[in-house]
Amino acid sequence: MPSSASIWTEHRQRPVTGFADALPTTASVVVVGAGVCGLVTAAMLDDHGVDVVVVDAGNGFQSTSAHSSAKVSLLHELTAAKVAQRRGRHMALEYVRANQFGCHWITRYIEDRNVECAWEHRDAVTYVNDLSSFDELDAEAELHVAAGVDIAVDLPRNASFELTRSITARNQAQFDPVAFLDHITTDIVANGNEVFYGTRVRGIARKRGGVIVETSAGNIAAGHVIVATGLPFLDRGLHFARTEPQSSYIVACEVESPPEQAMYLAGDGDKRSIRTATTVDGTQVLLVGGEGHKTGQGGDTEQRYRTLVAWTNEHFGVRAVTHRFMAEDYTTGDHMPFAGPMTPGNDRVLVATGMNKWGFSNAPAVAAINIAAIVDGESPSWTRAFASSRIPVASLPNLAKASANVATHLIGGWIGALTKKSDPDPGHGHVRFENGRPVAQSTNCTNADVLTVDGKCPHLGAVLTWNPAEQTWDCPLHGSRFEADGRLLHGPAVDDLRRRANK
Kindly report the number of other CB atoms within 10 A of residue 166's CB atom: 25
Q: What is the pLDDT of residue 491?
A: 78
Predicted TM-score (pTM) of the model is 0.90
Residue 20 near residue 216 (C-beta atoms within 8 A): no
Helix (H) or strand (E) holding 151: strand 151-153
What sign results for the dihedral spanned by CA atoms 370, 373, 379, 383? positive
Do residues 493 and 480 touch, judged by C-beta distance below 8 A?
yes
Q: What are phi and psi of 265, to 5 degrees?
A: -150, 125
**First and final CA of the chain: distance in angstroms?**
34
What's residue 249's pLDDT? 95
Torsion of CA 343, 357, 381, 227, to 10 degrees: 30
Q: pLDDT digit of tens for each residue in the chain (503 aa)?
A: 777 889 998 877 665 555 656 889 999 999 999 999 999 999 999 999 999 999 998 877 778 888 999 999 999 999 999 999 999 999 999 999 999 999 999 999 999 999 999 999 999 999 999 999 999 999 999 999 999 999 999 888 887 888 899 999 999 999 999 999 999 999 999 999 999 988 889 899 988 889 999 998 899 999 999 999 887 777 665 777 788 889 999 999 999 999 999 999 999 989 999 999 999 889 999 999 999 889 888 888 889 999 999 999 999 999 999 999 999 998 898 999 999 998 887 889 999 999 999 999 999 999 999 999 999 778 999 999 999 888 865 444 554 555 555 555 555 555 554 445 566 767 788 888 887 788 888 888 776 678 888 888 888 888 899 998 888 899 998 888 998 888 988 878 888 888 877 66
Report the chain's C-alpha Rg in angstroms: 22
Task: Tell me the DSSP string of 216-279.
Answer: TTEEEEEEEEEE-SSS-S--TT-GGGTEEEEEEEEEEEEESSPPSSSEEEESSSS-EEEEEEE-
Residue 394's pLDDT is 45
Compute the distance between CA of residue 134 and CA of residue 180 in angstroms, rounded to an integer: 36
Best CA proximity match to 119, nearest among 74, 180, 73:
180
Query: What residue spans define the domains of the chain?
Result: 25-245+262-268+333-387, 397-500
CA-angle at 212, arms to 207 and 218, nearest 5°: 150
DSSP helix/strand/coil, 500: strand
Q: Do 25-245+262-268+333-387 and 397-500 share a fold?
A: no
Q: Report the CATH fold assignment for 25-245+262-268+333-387.
A: FAD/NAD(P)-binding domain (3.50.50)
Q: Which residues pair with 321 in a beta bridge?
A: 253
Instruction: Tell me if the domain spanning 397-500 has CATH number 2.102.10.10.
Output: yes
